[in-house]
Structure 1
Amino acid sequence: MTSLTHHHDVFVGSTGDGHTFVVLNRRIPNAERTLAKAGFTAHRDRTVFLLPPAPAQEAHERVGLVFDRLLAHTLDMVDLSWTTRWSPSGPLPEPSLHFRFANGTVTATAETEEAHRLLAANHFTPGADGSSYQPPAGLDERELIHVVVQAETHAYASGLDVGIDLGIPTPDLVRAKPRPASTAVPGGPAVQPARRRTA
C-alpha cells in the first residue's frame, strides 16, 4: 500500500500531536548519523525518525541541518511540516491558506481574497461552498504533493502563511516505503528539486 510519505527519497512532515518526522525511502550515506546529530531518533526500521514536540525555531533549525547535509546525496526531498514554521521577526500570524491531505487527495481552504487568488493562479478549482478548493483532476499522489509545494512556495513569496495537515495524527501512523534488503546506494543526486523553508 502506498502512502503520502512514500514518494520522495526524504519526506519531512508533522503529526497532528506536534512531532516532526523524517522518512528515508532509500539508503543515503550518513543519513542516520546526520539525523541523530540533529536530535532525531529512529522510530521504525531506521526509516522513520522523530523529533519530539519542540519550539518552532528549534525544529526549524534541526530540519535545516538535515537538509543541508543530505543535499550532497539527493535533491529528491520535500518538506510539508508545520512544526518547523518560524520567523526571526516574531510570532507567525494565523494561516490564511490551509491544505489538508485525506483519502488520496488534498483540499485547500482560503481565508482571504489574496489566498483565493493564489489558489486560482495555481489551478485549484473552487468548491460549492466558496471557500474550499480542489487541485486539478487526474493527479497521482506525488503530483498532488508537487502542486501543494508549488502553491505553498508561491504563498511564501507573497507573504501568506500556510497551514498543512497531512492527516497523520500520531507518529505510529507514519509510514515508510519498505526497502528491499539488497537495495544499493544509488550514485548522484535525484532530479526532484529540494525544498527548504528559510523564513
Structure 2
Amino acid sequence: MALSTAHQRLVDTAADLFYRHGITNTGVDRIAAESKVSKPTLYAHFRTKDALVAAVLKTQHSRRRGEIEAYLAGQEAPDGRWPLLVFDWLDDWHRTEGRRGCAFVNASAELAGPAAAEARACAAGHKRWWRGLFTELCARTGADRPGELADSLCLLMDGANARRLVEDDPRAASAARRAAAELLTAHLEAR
C-alpha cells in the first residue's frame, strides 16, 4: 500500500532534520512546520515522536540497502575482493551525503528508554543487515571464516563513520578501505 503524501513528507523531512541536527534537537513543531502539515496531522500518522523516529530509520534502511545493492550490482570487484567495494561506496557517500556518519549509530546514541525500543531495534537490524552483507561478500571472495571477517569489516565501517562525524575527516572511508584490504589479504593468505 502506498504511503500518503503527508506521511512521506513527514518521514523525509524528519530524516533530514534528525540527521543534520539530531533527534533530541529537532522538535515535532519544526518537523510539522517544515513538512507543511499540522501537528494534529503529524500525530495522526505517528502517535509519538519515537514512532516517527522508527519510521524514519525503517525508511533509511530500505533506501540505504537499495543504494548499496544497486552499487554492488553495477561493479566488478578488484581481484574478486567484493568487500572492498563497500568501502568505495562509503567513500563516495561520505563525500556527498554522509558528513555526519551513520544515522543509525547517531540515533542509537540519542535514544534511551522503553519508548525508543522500536527505533533502537531498527538500528540494530540495520547493523545486522550490514554484517550479513559483509559475510556474503567475504564468502564470495573466498574467505574461510567469512562471519569473523565480516565482524571486523563492520567495525572498520563504523569507525570510519565515527571519524567522519567526530573529526569531519572526508578520508576516513579510504583509510578504512586500506585496513580492510590488509585484513582481507591476511584472511585469504591464511587459507
- TM-score range normalised by the length of the shorter chain: under 0.3
Q: Relative to total residues, which structure has the larger helix share, 1 or 2?
A: 2
Structure of larger gyration radius: 2
Q: Relative to total residues, which structure has the larger strand share, 1 or 2?
A: 1
TM-score (ref. length: structure 2) = 0.22
TM-score (ref. length: structure 1) = 0.21
Of structures 1 and 2, the one with the larger relative CO (CA 8 A, separation 6+) is 1
